[in-house]
Amino acid sequence: QVTLKESGPGILQPSQTLSLTCTFSGFSLSTYGMGVGWIRQPSGKGLEWLANIWWDDDKYYNPSLKNRLTISKDTSNNQAFLKITNVDTADTATYYCARIADYSGPFDYWGQGVMVTVSS
Amino acid sequence: DIQMTQSPASLSASLGETVTIECRASEDIYNGLAWYQQKPGKSPQLLIYNANSLHTGVPSRFSGSGSGTQYSLKINSLQSEDVASYFCQQYYDYPYTFGAGTKLELK
């Protein structure tokens, strides 16, 4: 059974760094073709893809967030991480992590999401 | 970036009706398209991948079709549990992009 669960700070102030953790089970990020992605959704709005990390440590980022994103993984502990630097109120959203089982495939399993609020 | 234009933005239909949601890509995405269902307060769930393949456990009343730049999701015999928002997503090229969503309600 594949499960993913996000965790984060809940609330942070503008200019701080947001650190998110995705803890998963039922698959390994060392398996060929496997990946984990991060997606966010402001309340009542659409979905925005942020980044992917792959079994071979290949990484892809959404250029719209310029150089603010860093994705990483800890294969032995079944975790993936996302950092977003210099946050502002526009980063307020629910953040999801999701699995990609096939290198060219969709997000087939999603976590429940973690809500992050940026406020002074 | 590949732009995904989804229509309609909202849709009202009766139980048992067939509904269709469309997604148009700004360039050919070679069937690298997924459809997700999102119920209020929940995370998105994969319905269709590779434009027309049904994800494990998804009821057969859901189907996907299309090619090139034009894709559609069809729901046959609408059930009350299908009330949700639906999103398309292209994963053919980076950055991955989503349609703006379709909110499906019961009439």
Chain B CB contacts of A60 below 8 Å? 94-95
Identify the closest residue of chain B to A51 by CA–CA distance: B95
Answer whether residue A66 shows pLDDT above 80: no
Residues 6+ apart with CB under 8 A from B40: B84
Q: Say if the Cβ atoms of B101 and A46 lie within 8 Å.
A: yes
| Out of A37, A63, A110, closest to residue B43 by CB | A110
Percent of chain B with pLDDT over 70: 100
What part of A 54-113 touches B (C-beta under 8 Å)?
Answer: 60-64, 96, 104-113
Q: CA of A54: how far to CAs of A33, A35, A102, in Å? A: 7, 4, 10
Computed on alpha carbons and rounded to an integer, the radius of gyration of chain A in Å comes to 14
Residue A38: what residue type? Answer: W
Identify the closest residue of chain A to B48 by CA–CA distance: A106
Nearest to B32 by CA among A49, A56, A103, A85: A103
Q: Say if the Cβ atoms of B89 and A107 lie within 8 Å.
A: yes
Nearest to A52 by CA among A82, A91, A88: A82
Q: Say if the Cβ atoms of A109 and B87 lie within 8 Å.
A: no
Nearest to A114 by CA among A26, A4, A35, A17: A4
B96 in contact with A, Cβ within 8 Å:
yes
Mean pLDDT, range A78-98, rounded to an integer = 98
pLDDT tens digits along B51-96: 999 999 999 999 999 999 999 999 999 999 999 999 999 999 999 9
pLDDT tens digits along A20-58: 999 999 999 999 999 999 999 999 999 999 999 999 999
